[in-house]
Structure 1
Amino acid sequence: MLLIKEVMTMKISINIIEKVMRNHVVLKNIRDDADMTIDTYEVYDPNHAAFKENCLYLLRPEGLTDSEGFPDGLNLVCSGKPDGFDIEKYQHINLLIIEGITPEKNMNLIISIFHRYNSFDERLNSLILENAPLQEIIDLATQMVEMPINILDLNHKVLAISSEMDAPDDPIWKSLKLGYMSEYYENILNTSPTMGDIIRAKGNSIEITSSISGHHVQISLLRSGGRPIAYFGMHKFYETQKPFEKHTLQLYEYLFRKINRNAGQYFAIKADRGLLYEEFLHNLFDQKFKDSDEIDVFLLKLGFNPGVSYQMGLISFRDSDVKADLYFTMMDFLEKLIPDSKCIAMDLFIYIIIPIDGNEYLSDENQKILAEFLGIHHCLCVLSPPFESFLNLHKFKPMFAAVLGFIKNQGRGDRLYHFYEFADLYSMKLLADEMPGKRMVHPMIQKLIDYDAEHHSDYLETLKVYLRNESSISVTASLLHMHRNSLQYRINRIEQLLERNFDDWQLREQLLFQLTYLEYQAVFSEK
């Protein structure tokens, strides 16, 4: 029997072959793990049984007699169904049974499939090599995958969209064609999936039902240097509420990988919104700069004025499902709201650096603007102390992390926070990190703790309220719902137990500090 073989650059799958030959397929078994692995085809010769994984074998019905003779995952197309054929015996291979065409026409059809995708691949490689416009690449990709495709930047601005194919009755596709998404900020806020959804998905691609259109879409993140730079997406234009077929997803993933490998030549990263800023902030936090002069060079390059005072804000999103893909849009918006500010996205936070120009703190007007922004986007901001030197900026990173923990534990719902609100707690944290456990507990406090445990009393709570209210018997009695005489008797008992009285203001300060430290240990210390 004549042996026919052809090699091609692009690999295809049994799913793609089944899709093209669908009108002639009468029986099939395609394994779940079938993928784009086929790059050759041969007429099956029973006298040469050295099967190859990457080959599609064509055979007549008489060759399909011994199921055990075919290794797992082999790809077969058979021109006709053998008598008494039981496809259940062939669940370990990928098999298509073809009827209605002659073996010769079947062969020609297989050859045309290989030539079709080989031609697509050659044209795509040529366009990439020539640095052709994205629009030409997207139009070719549309022909290849037979679905409408687009590329958007991280602000949802359309960079290229299928010009020969539409997704009918899809309002998102229509708005993309009109450039709507780049102009209407509110519509962007309501879209899904988020960048976080895509990052968490296998392979940085996600298939989802659009939150606006209700149609199935596939969206992937294009990256350059490991950093997200654009979206690559596909819309379903028929049976829109059903998932994409496997052959469509296979071709889409192939195109995505091909374009992603060459993304650097199509997407320039702006200096004011990209790796230069992120690298600068990382280096500051990691203390990689040697002196202020080295930092000043970068500050001038990035548009900062080394001669003024600044505050840094960390913006954190209360919603764990934050639309992280909107960071760049939001940062642009923030910089317009607060003139001369600079925003940087890093570690799923937005850092904003704001000049305060001689003011001790951010102006009331800018605080109001920032608070309104935080309310719209359901996020919070922690403002650092004012600073002039960027050399010590690394100290703010652990400070921000601690304050976010304090806010979470306290269950507060404010929008804008200042570090000075948490300075006492932060000092407690630093102390607890250095001297954990009972090493810091004042012996008088410990004596009251032990006494309360043994006698089921609440002397420690009484002392805490008494000291925090400037040793006022009347105020303390009211807060504890006790008679003045009963409280005075209890205070006298505590002084006798501790063998000290509380007239000494230094002792009062020490005990108050210790009580606050114990509260910190109970609420904020890591367990």
Structure 2
Amino acid sequence: MRFSVKFIYIKLSEHIREAGLFLEEAYNPYVETVRFFSDLQCPLPSDAAKNALYIYAPGRAAALPAAFSFPVLVSEKDSHLFSGCPKIVIPDDFPLYDAFNLIMSVFQQYNDWAVRVGNAVLKNQSLQDILDLTAPLVGNPMYIADLSFKMLAYINMDLDEISAIWRYQIRYGYLPYNVMMDLSETGELELLNNTLPAFYLNSKCFNNPFISKTIRYRGKTQGHFYIIEIYKKLTQCDIEIADYLGELLSTATHNKRNYLTISSFYHEHFMVDILENTLTDSTLIRHQLSPLGWKLEGNYRIFLLCMPGDEDALKRHIMAFLLDGFDAQAFLYKDYLVAIYKSDGCSIQHLCTHLGKLSEAFNRCGALSEVFRRFDRMFLYYQQSEFALKEGPKYHAEKRFFLYEDYFPVHLTQLCESGFPCYQPVELLNEYDNTHHTQYCLTLFTYLVNERNAVKTAQTLYLHRNTLKYRIEKIEELMPLDLDSPGIRFRTLSSLYTIIKPGV
């Protein structure tokens, strides 16, 4: 691990209060080791040793070559010899060997930490394990978050008793949505996502200053590491710890350790958690919906547009069209562009027309669920849209937009096939058809679908009414059931779906 001269100075000043630091402008070189240097030494340190902090132990000459420009620790009486060097100056009465030992103990402590966290990553230990290893060096609350500011691991240190925002995050895992909106409006969100080195921020949106380190891989931001100023003032030491740990976590994501999840918009993780049924806390869901002007109970529909292999840029472009003119939220999930529509005051005809035209225009298949009232049950209606997307093209290859309501019988049939045997009277009727080459199952199916309306049934099957009458009488003879019973009609129809497998 490398340390800046300022880092070493801060650690030394904890033991040598009179120590001074002299750097030119923003120049703060990094070093990896410490060495003694005397004016009797010749030649100058080699290029391989330029990564060292030199402790000057004067010899008899009391003069240095003019080319000496390496970081140096020097007693006050010899400070004038190093006017052009980054330097730490200590009192004349403080032994140089004691300063050397202090610096070496700092190197040892932080290098040991670097080895331990590096091994934790190699062993695929949790983010919480990594923070636990880091906590003794920091002495302040800290946490690792994904792009939605959802906490993945944290060191609390009783911050929940001080900060309402932190308390909310500890309880629910998410940053309150109103704080997220404040970050966006003040420009701090862009700053946090796009600043590469760790930096100190006295935020307008939080009560306490903090250090932020963006975790990136291949140019894409994947998460953040934060250290919050509560018990100790944040210093250059904390910034360098954050930088080192952030780069280590970038390596972890490069090695596909699945430490961090990737997203682009705050609400995506929140809604994906509901889709996957991993977020079921209705109180949390209600809180997160509130800034959107949505409630836990309402009239919602979920739309999926299948876009496997498409570039994110195209998906974001289409997302804008999906949302235009509607009270809706959209995000990416698996191979789908997902849109949630709040359908209060919006006719289903208008919504279907909009989604149908969009699906046709971009030549992508889309499906819309039934309306649902409880937002925390969204995952069930996601399954509806996904089913319609997969089954719709089998029945209507020319279509691009599918309504789940049209495919409910097919869905029910598939569900019943795995749990219920075919209704025996229907099974016997099917055997009769196969033996005598009749179409009684198709006739009965059409008859029931048309609510036992003989005229519509005859028209659908292109039969004369007398022919239909004969077939119904024959069916009643072969299958003497009380079709006036709703339960029997439903059971009969569901079994006929498994046999007829009709187009919808």
TM-score when normalising by structure 1: 0.49
Pick from 77, 80, 99: which aligns with 1:82?
77
Between the aligned partners of 1:365 and 1:17, the Cα distance in structure 2 is: 53
Aligned to 2:454: none
SS of corresponding position for 1:69? coil
The amino acid across from 1:249 in the alignment is: I
1:197 aligned to 2:191? yes
1:222, distance to aligned residue in structure 2 (A): 2.1
String of CA shifts for 1:372-421, please: whole Å, max 9, x gaps.
99xxxxxxxxx78705557657xxxxxxxxxxxxxxxxxxxxxxxxxxxx
Aligned to 2:357: 386
Pick from 123, 135, 140: which aligns with 1:142?
135
Aligned to 1:59: 56
Aligned to 1:69: 66
Q: Which runs of 5+ in 2 are unaligned?
A: 276-298, 330-338, 346-353, 365-504
Aligned to 2:95: 102
- Structure 1 residues 98 and 166: CA distance shift in structure 2, 3 A: farther
Aligned to 1:340: 303
The amino acid across from 1:177 in the alignment is: I
The amino acid across from 2:53 in the alignment is: L
SS of corresponding position for 1:386? helix
2:140/2:157 contact within 8 Å kept? no
String of CA shifts for 1:180-213, please: whole Å, max 9, x gaps.
635x444443346654223443x26553223333
The amino acid across from 2:97 in the alignment is: E
Aligned to 1:122: 115
Within 5 Å, which residues of 2 pair with 1:14-93? Answer: 14-22=5-13, 23-24=15-16, 25-35=18-28, 37-46=30-39, 47-51=41-45, 52-60=49-57, 65-66=62-63, 69=66, 71-72=68-69, 74-78=70-74, 80-82=75-77, 86=80, 90-93=83-86
Aligned to 1:233: 226
Between the aligned partners of 1:134 and 1:331, the Cα distance in structure 2 is: 23
Pick from 199, 206, 230: which aligns with 1:213?
206
1:132, distance to aligned residue in structure 2 (A): 0.8
SS of corresponding position for 2:31? coil
2:38/2:58 contact within 8 Å kept? no
Between the aligned partners of 1:327 and 1:389, the Cα distance in structure 2 is: 28
Q: Which is further off, 258-267 or 173-182?
A: 173-182
1:255, distance to aligned residue in structure 2 (A): 1.6
String of CA shifts for 1:421-441, please: whole Å, max 9, x gaps.
xxxxxxxxxxxxxxxxxxxxx
1:325, distance to aligned residue in structure 2 (A): 4.5
- Structure 1 residues 363 and 261: CA distance shift in structure 2, 3 A: closer
Aligned to 1:328: 268
String of CA shifts for 1:1-59, please: whole Å, max 9, x gaps.
xxxxxxxxx22221221111103143331344545631222111332342232011112
- Structure 1 residues 101 and 269: CA distance shift in structure 2, 3 A: closer
Q: How many residues matched? A: 311
1:42/1:57 contact within 8 Å kept? yes
The amino acid across from 1:59 in the alignment is: Y
1:14/1:34 contact within 8 Å kept? no
Within 5 Å, which residues of 2 pair with 1:236-385? Answer: 236-238=229-231, 244-264=234-254, 265-267=256-258, 325-326=265-266, 328-329=268-269, 337-341=300-304, 346-347=312-313, 349=316, 351-352=318-319
SS of corresponding position for 2:85? coil
SS of corresponding position for 2:88? strand
Query: Cα RMSD between the aligned structures?
Result: 4.5
The amino acid across from 1:77 in the alignment is: L
TM-score when normalising by structure 2: 0.50
2:36/2:54 contact within 8 Å kept? yes
- Structure 1 residues 90 and 173: CA distance shift in structure 2, 3 A: farther
String of CA shifts for 1:136-178, please: whole Å, max 9, x gaps.
1112233334443211122322110125585984443343333
Q: Percent identity?
A: 15
- Structure 1 residues 65 and 173: CA distance shift in structure 2, 3 A: farther
1:171/1:213 contact within 8 Å kept? no
The amino acid across from 1:261 in the alignment is: T
2:139/2:232 contact within 8 Å kept? no
1:214, distance to aligned residue in structure 2 (A): 3.4
SS of corresponding position for 1:155? coil
Between the aligned partners of 1:388 and 1:34, the Cα distance in structure 2 is: 57
Aligned to 2:292: none
The amino acid across from 1:252 in the alignment is: A
The amino acid across from 2:12 in the alignment is: M
Q: Which runs of 5+ in 1 are unaligned?
A: 1-9, 275-323, 356-360, 374-382, 394-527
1:67/1:90 contact within 8 Å kept? no
Between the aligned partners of 2:27 and 2:87, the Cα distance in structure 1 is: 7
- Structure 1 residues 237 and 41: CA distance shift in structure 2, 3 A: same
- Structure 1 residues 269 and 209: CA distance shift in structure 2, 3 A: closer
1:37/1:53 contact within 8 Å kept? no
- Structure 1 residues 112 and 70: CA distance shift in structure 2, 3 A: farther
Pick from 150, 166, 172: which aligns with 1:173?
166
SS of corresponding position for 1:190? helix
